[in-house]
Structure 1
Amino acid sequence: PFTDIGWTPLFMGIGGIVAETGGQLSHTSIIAREYGLPAVVSVKNATRSIRTGQHITIDGSNGRVYFTEK
């Protein structure tokens, strides 16, 4: 649901971040900007809605997450 400093090594191998908590100045948002990753924060029930291996598109500019096919 959120990130902290312990997640930092994982950011090199991901395509984006979706988090249940956070705002523009949250750790998640700051790290996403630093790594150039699209991110959407404050997504209610994200960890229940997005399953491991599921394909999504993250539109960080508009704050949207789309479920997609491969």
Structure 2
Amino acid sequence: MDDVDLAQEREEAHLAASLAARKSKLQSPNGLCIWCKDEAVVADTAFCSSECDEDYHKHQREMKQRIS
């Protein structure tokens, strides 16, 4: 096994570890926006609009700060 093979193995291990550590993507359990719960979600998101997305994440940050 040469240096190139070792480097490739390290890169693959690093990529696998990075993918395993990433946060899971939010999903809507019923196809409705997880913030307003009124509108259907946009494809591949959990929100009906960018405004709901921003409001949800802002609320999550505020709740995290209150707990800390």
Please report the TM-score for the alignment, with normalisation by the length of structure 2: 0.24
Please report the TM-score for the alignment, with normalisation by the length of structure 1: 0.24
Which of the pair has more CA radius of gyration? 2
Structure showing greater relative contact order (alpha-carbon pairs closer than 8 Å, 6 or more residues apart): 1
Structure number with the higher strand fraction is: 1
Structure number with the higher helix fraction is: 2
